[in-house]
Amino acid sequence: MQSNNLPPSVKPNFIGGHFIKFRRQPTEFLTEMAKLGDISYFRIFKYPAYFLNHPDLIRDLLITSNSKFHKGRALQRAKGLLGEGLLTSEGKKHLKQRRMIQPAFHRGRIAEYAKAMVEYAEKMRDEWQDGEVRDIDHEMMKLTLQIVGKTLFSANVDDETDEVSNAMTSLIEMFNFLVIPFSEILEKLPIPPATKFKKSKETLDRVIYKIINERRKTGEDKGDLLSMLLMAQDEDDGSAMTDEQVRDEALTLFLAGHETTANAMTWTFYLLSQTPEKEAQLHEELDKVLSGKTPSMEDVPNLKYTEAVFAESMRLFPPAWAIGRLSIEEHKFGEYEIPVDALVLLSPYVTHRDKRFWENANEFIPERWFDQSIKEAGNKFIYFPFSKGVRSCIGESFAWMEGILLIATLCQKWKLNLESTQKIGLNPLMTLRPKFGMRMKIEKR
């Protein structure tokens, strides 16, 4: 039962509570809510929602009391697309799936993935021409899609990259539609958003099932994630995974493995274009460490400034900009009782820019990561671009490696300048996308 003692809030609309304000500009809305205190309250129609913005509360939700919460409505509704994959499953099933998939992200395997990351980045680097303008948002989506196809599924998706990328984009854009109240009903109607969602899902299913069928025919163990999924056996009855179960896991990692990194890369190039002195420091490190040779995994420990650039980019523009949980038990945060079935939200975007925890919080300062390590900031729960705890991103080490190597490979040869007419805005969907794309002029260094 909900307590009458509610955290501070802003005035709701007569219809829908705070739904319209939240939906129109979610990052701005949560930034305003954070000004009310460490815990604030809002309402989405009849559903209570609580926003937490303090490291102690964040730790409590993600670590200490995580068993009292399930994934929020957004990811529950995502089951319509992702099925019972790692991102949407709960409890024992989630832990079982995570244990099964974890070996695909062990350090030894990531060393092999590094080669493919650089290979595809070099290919894109060599395709670019001096003086041309490209939408870097689209380019990074294409690049990371090729990499995840190759590294996790040993599949060449080059021929289908645009089709798959467009389908992924449509589904991400549909995400806001899926989480509105009554979307379960709207989804079944012959309206444009529902039709578009269905077609995009069919495109992805066709590509994923094609990859699965081809591997089942050969029976070859390529040592990748797909081989692990196909060979996996149930701990209880020894049965193998069905094609549908393999599809759910594969599609989840297909989506998560390229969408988030692509956005992080796009925002990184934007930030570098706005800070020429930081870009010059990056180029200086690349020239010194690489001496003109192709980057490799062995170079990563020496690319400290490159890592700091990537870390700072994800501080300011974390791809997973919000993290939602649904309470399955009553819980107390501070002095406030949280009822069952309440939404509890965190926002890396907001916490990463909180002036209490970050000096010059809204400025792009890669050097700050020389004074405080990424691990230290994570342990303080003031930096969590990959979430924390049992539901943290399984591909975090993969993403760090990929980000550093892609920046190094592309920036070794090119510098990117924002086109003068390019508008900048946030499009907070499932991930934090640029609202107007990111058209940039490519210039030879």
pLDDT (tens, 9 = 90+) of the chain, 445 residues, equals: 445 689 999 999 989 899 899 989 999 999 999 999 999 999 998 889 999 999 999 999 999 999 999 987 666 666 777 788 787 788 888 888 888 788 888 888 888 899 999 999 999 999 999 999 999 999 999 999 999 989 888 888 777 767 777 787 777 776 666 666 556 666 677 777 678 778 888 888 888 898 889 899 988 888 888 888 888 776 677 777 888 888 888 888 888 888 899 999 999 999 999 999 999 999 999 999 999 999 999 999 999 999 999 999 999 999 999 999 999 999 999 999 999 999 999 999 999 999 999 999 999 999 999 999 999 999 999 999 999 998 898 899 999 999 999 999 999 999 999 999 999 999 998 899 999 999 999 999 9
Whether residue 437 is contained in a domain is answered as: yes
β-strands 47-52, 39-44 pairing: antiparallel
Helix (H, G, I), strand (E, B) or coil at 341: coil
Determine the Cα angle at 428 with ends 416 and 415, to 5°. Answer: 5
Token match 């930081």: residue? 278
| CB-CB contact of 69 with 326 (8 Å) | yes
Tell me the residue range of the domain where 43 lies. Answer: 19-444
* Domain CATH for 89: 1.10.630.10
Rg of the Cα atoms in the chain? 22
Whether residue 281 is contained in a domain is answered as: yes
Whether residue 375 is contained in a domain is answered as: yes
Query: How many domains are contained in the chain?
Result: 1
Whether residue 113 is contained in a domain is answered as: yes
User: How does DSSP classify residue 293?
Assistant: S
| CB-CB contact of 60 with 32 (8 Å) | no
Whether residue 10 is contained in a domain is answered as: no
Whether residue 368 is contained in a domain is answered as: yes
One-character DSSP codes across 220-287: ---SSHHHHHHH-B-TTT-PBPPHHHHHHHHHHHHHHHHHHHHHHHHHHHHHHHH-HHHHHHHHHHHH
Tokens representing 234 are 């149930």
Whether residue 207 is contained in a domain is answered as: yes
Query: What's the rounded Cα separation, in Å, for the pair 90 and 71?
Result: 8
Whether residue 5 is contained in a domain is answered as: no
Q: Which residues pair with 52 in a beta bridge?
A: 39
